[in-house]
A and B are shown apart, each in its own frame.
Chain A
């Protein structure tokens, strides 16, 4: 352990990462709390060996930024790269050992066979054993070099941590701009690193509660465009959308079942909010909860057997669980005055919630087996937690002054980062499943 790394252990690492294409994406990502035990890795710039001019996207930069954001890696800065090997034979391992680098990635990019798209050819080595850990070619379509780079980062992450990567996924979120009558709401989908934000739907009336289908193709959301809340399901690629519910009262909190056959939702046409499950193929729905309290924010367990939800049947909002087939609800959260809007980890072992204490709301995580609950974020108005599909991070909404911004925290609470869209009030992030 070097002096530098001991120093890092003693303090938070405050680093500002500015991407080369910052202006294009209007996005900043800042690691506000780092991880002292991050693995040092060198991602060598990848040579362009195709025809024509080199693409604008620099895969090595994208890969390094992904790994850095995970908090588990400390990629070597470009200016510290004393050597830029292009093939396995030219790697001088002694040099990299001196630079305290544990892993090295080399590679190049060519036109894919037939000239349509790109091949990213890359290798990952352990600097200490000189062992080749990965040797792969990732092929992507034209315009997908960033996506391909995220796939490479996924493979490296999986090889070195044993957990599948979530860099080639997407996030959905709501942004609100303007004031009063000029307010405009938009539902966006962007890459997991915040790049390529694409508007899915816009409205002068509130939009909320975006929720992904597990095939990653559709988003369910709530729109007030008709004057009252209504639930829509929209295909992200084609834009085609379907009105799923617009009854009297609340039509809210949509959540796809793991097999995407059902949509759980909150409806209050009976007089107060209850959770219903609608079969999307037949249109038939059944009532899952029946209580005078507010029952809302359903979330499915990954095996589809349980529905977790928020209810104030005990006086204050807490998380309860009911069998998806129906039955008696059981209270799950016990600590704290206010626990709501749960998200379930992909392995089903933990739930994250927005936890309120007096005027402060923070993201907390509960181990279902042990009942151990831990606060992950500093507050003061943190809400809408959403697990990454690999369970490593939780994306959530927080406040900076009067503005909403997105942030992510590692599931162990050690690493925190902020994603800021420079315009508007950003809220309600939803992390997509892994898109296959």
Chain B
């Protein structure tokens, strides 16, 4: 029963995505055809570059043109709402996860150094849960998603200014299985 649901959701997503793909005026028909018909996928991997908007194609993880290559979401101070500018990145990952039942994602939540360490663990988790919630709503299974909060313990930048803090307030979308 659950499996049927999953497949259905994935299908709905695949349709939604291919629908999206037809709207922008791009002439790269071959790639989009290849992604839609499974039997020729293997041939496509060796011959054509992936369509960056095909969020079910794992090759796009390393394609800087594709939203799938973007795996860090940034937040405002003491906030966990996903800002509008990042929603399309999250949607791209949702499409991938929903269409690959064996994929697994860990959402690593982080905070900047301001405030206390344990509160920031809570804040990092809340941010991770925001992303996790959006992925679930878009068809990812709970069993595919995991949230880990590191609070302020794993900064990417160590200077005490807003520029640095804004880089540290983040959720990293980490694929443990693709």
Contact = CB atoms under 8 A, between A and B. Distances in A.
A252 B153 contact: no
Given A208-B153, A249-B147, A356-B114, A310 B160 contact: no
Q: Which of A208, A294, A316 has most chain B Cβ within 10 Å? A: A294
Interface in A266-282: 266, 268, 271-273
Contact of B115 (A209, A273, A361, A428): A361
B121 A229 contact: yes
A24 interface: no
A402 interface: yes
Interface residues of B, number: 24
A426 interface: no
Contact of A310 (B119, B125, B150, B154): B119
A187 interface: no
Contacts of B170: none
B160 A209 contact: no
A297 B160 contact: no
Given A227-B148, A399-B160, A296 B122 contact: yes
B27 interface: no
B121 A296 contact: yes
B178 interface: no
B122 A266 contact: yes
Interface in B84-112: none
Given A252-B121, A294-B119, A402 B149 contact: no
Interface in A357-381: 359, 361, 380-381
B159 A296 contact: no
B17 to A, nearest CB: 30
Contacts of A402: 158-160
Contacts of A317: 115-116, 119
Contacts of B148: 227-228
Contacts of A361: 114-115
A297 B116 CA distance: 9
Contacts of A399: 160
A344 interface: no
A273 B153 CA distance: 18
A91 B160 CA distance: 56
A383 B123 contact: no
Contacts of A273: 121-122, 125
A381 B160 contact: yes
B121 A340 contact: no
Contact of A428 (B117, B149, B159): B117
A6 B160 CA distance: 39
Contacts of A383: 115-117
Given A296-B119, A402-B159, 11 more contacts: A209-B117, A229-B149, A272-B122, A310-B118, A354-B116, A356-B114, A361-B115, A380-B160, A381-B114, A399-B160, A402-B160
Interface of B: 78, 113-119, 121-123, 125-126, 129, 147-151, 153-154, 158-160
